[in-house]
Amino acid sequence: MTLRATVITALVLAGMGWSSPAGAAPAEPSEAPPMATPSPQAPPEKVEDAKDTAKAAELTPIVPSPSNPLKSAYQLYLEVDGPVLGIGLVFASARLVRSQPAYCAPLCERGGLNALDRTTAGTWSPAWQGASNYGLLALGLGTSALLLLDEGFLPGLNDAAVVAESALSGIAITSLMTLAAGRPRPFLYGEKAPIEARNGADAGLSYLSSHAVASFAIVTSTVMAMRRRHPGTKVAWVVAGVGGALATFVASARILGGMHFITDSLGGAIVGVSTGVLVSSLHGSPATVVPVTGEGRKGLAVSFRF
């Protein structure tokens, strides 16, 4: 049979506001069967073979706290989240194999730029480039520390994996777009940058900003986790404010450093927020809460699977 257990814990709460009709039986959460009901004429050996097949096809859940489902982390599956992380790493590394310089290196004409991006053409600042790297590093370390302290080690790792998937998925999308667009970086529209930088393969990877994507994906997925962990509180808003300010700093520093145009960072922010919401929303929790009503009682029932 399936490796799935349903545990019902009745939490009888006074004043919840649910009315129970007289003589009503307690409502229990239903769970879909792992396989179709076999025909009465089916040979027993065939039924057992079908059960073994269904069991072998089950995903392997990663549940760090099955004994405490009310504070469980995101539900991960080894056969799903492992490949997603692996593919994300490979796609995110795609830009590292580019070897040809930008098509207009070592100096590009500004005439083809839109009015907004033309304002930052020719910018070059290694100090701001370093600041963006440190800002992104601080954001990643701060998020990891927050999740681990808030949830504990193993549940925190589960949620950190979802945050990492959000960032890597966004960077993977960005890498494909960047390689397809081949847009020169802002420093190619001036002579402030050293000639080796303007002739390098990295000089043609402007659109989109992977730093902006990663920063906003990390912040958004962390806010989603905090909203799930602390519903009805201001924790998620505080994380959104602090994290959003740091992510904005990282995206702005990439512009001031001459690595990206304004539209590169704006587009990266949109992709980062979108993947942060999407990836987090695709991961559920093993715990579900349903109303329980019956004669003389009312409350909640918690059902979880592991």
For residue 194, give Cα distances in angstroms to 26, 102, 126: 75, 15, 11
> How many Å apart are CA 143 and CA 164, to the nearest integer?
10
User: Considering the entire predicted model, what is its pTM?
Assistant: 0.78
Q: What pLDDT was estimated at residue 288?
A: 52
The answer as to whether 206 is a domain residue is yes
Under the banding of pLDDT at 50, 70 and 90, the label for residue 20 is very low
* pLDDT tens-place string over residues 40-53: 777 888 778 777 77
Q: Which bin fits 122, alpha (ψ -120 to 50), beta or left (φ > 0)?
A: left
Give φ, ψ of 58 to 5 degrees. -70, 145
The answer as to whether 143 is a domain residue is yes
The answer as to whether 226 is a domain residue is yes
List the one residue out of 60, 192, 69, 191 whose CA is nearest residue 126. 192
Alpha helices in 152-201 (DSSP H): 153-181, 195-198
Q: Residues of the chain with pLDDT > 90: what percent?
A: 56
Under the banding of pLDDT at 50, 70 and 90, the label for residue 34 is low
Tokens 């480039």 correspond to 129
Enter the DSSP assignment of 106.
T
Does position 87 have pLDDT exceeding 80, yes or no?
yes
The answer as to whether 133 is a domain residue is yes
Residues of the domain holding 192: 77-281
The answer as to whether 290 is a domain residue is no
> How many Å apart are CA 297 and CA 288, to the nearest integer?
20
Task: Summarize the confidence of residues 45-64 as an average pLDDT.
Answer: 77
The answer as to whether 186 is a domain residue is yes
Does position 270 have pLDDT exceeding 90, yes or no?
yes
Q: How many domains does the chain have?
A: 1
The answer as to whether 271 is a domain residue is yes
For the chain, strand residue ranges (E) read: 7-12, 61-62, 76-77, 287-294, 297-304
Does position 289 have pLDDT exceeding 90, yes or no?
no
The answer as to whether 42 is a domain residue is no
Q: Are 74 and 158 in contact, with CB atoms under 8 Å apart?
A: yes
Greatest CA separation for the chain: 84
Q: What pLDDT was estimated at residue 58?
A: 79
Task: Summarize the confidence of residues 55-65 as an average pLDDT.
Answer: 75
Q: Are 246 and 220 in contact, with CB atoms under 8 Å apart?
A: no
